[in-house]
């Protein structure tokens, strides 16, 4: 699956967003090493802090299913009513969740580049000196 195809899946996932407070809708498409695809959307809450990002929704669905090896995630986010063409970088909490399950030099994060294409960064690039399971081994 190309990055562009994965981004198209993230855009589909974005249609499921529940974001009545921020009106910022995000979708994510997470590809496992075995080739399975998990979609996620942001799910907000009237108490605000229980809100969940699209990336974590996708990861938690996959982890529940027993998946432990991940290849790539595409993220599409932006204000409701607009196409998600600008980069929507994962928040720090989501980067930390990725760090739990992914090799930071291997796992790739795909974002819109603002020009109709995609940009790609490793988790290491987005979370330098990250703390993960290997630090506790
Ligand atoms: N959000 C995500 O779901 N993923 C991101 O990468 C950035 C932010 C959500 C959280 C909240 O529901 C809304 O976008 C505004 O921050």
Ligand 1, atom 9, lies closest to the CA of: 53
Q: Give the Cα separation of 12 and 7 in Å (integer).
A: 9
User: Which tokens is 97 given?
Assistant: 């969740």
User: Which tokens is 27 given?
Assistant: 């979708």
Stated pTM of the model: 0.97
Cβ of residue 54 lying under 6 Å from some atom of ligand 1: yes
pLDDT of residue 36: 98
Residue bearing tokens 């075995």: 34
Please write the tens of the pLDDT for every residue from 10-67.
999 999 999 999 999 999 999 999 999 999 999 999 999 999 999 999 999 999 999 9
CA distances 55 to 74, 81, 118, 136, Å, are 9, 20, 17, 24
Give me the percent of the chain exceeding a pLDDT of 70: 100
């Amino acid at each position: 699956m190309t990055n562009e195809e994965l981004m198209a899946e993230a855009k589909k996932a974005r249609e499921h967003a529940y974001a009545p407070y921020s009106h910022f809708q995000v979708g994510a498409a997470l590809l496992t090493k075995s080739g399975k695809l998990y979609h996620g959307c942001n799910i907000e809450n009237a108490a605000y802090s229980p809100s969940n990002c699209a990336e974590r929704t996708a990861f938690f669905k996959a982890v529940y299913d027993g998946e432990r090896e991940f290849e790539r995630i595409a993220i599409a986010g932006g204000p409701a009513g607009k196409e998600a063409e600008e980069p929507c970088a994962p928040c720090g909490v989501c980067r930390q969740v990725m760090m739990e399950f992914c090799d930071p030099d291997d796992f790739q994060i795909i974002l819109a580049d603002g020009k109709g294409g995609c940009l790609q960064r490793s988790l290491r690039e987005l979370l330098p000196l990250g703390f993960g399971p290997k630090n506790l081994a």
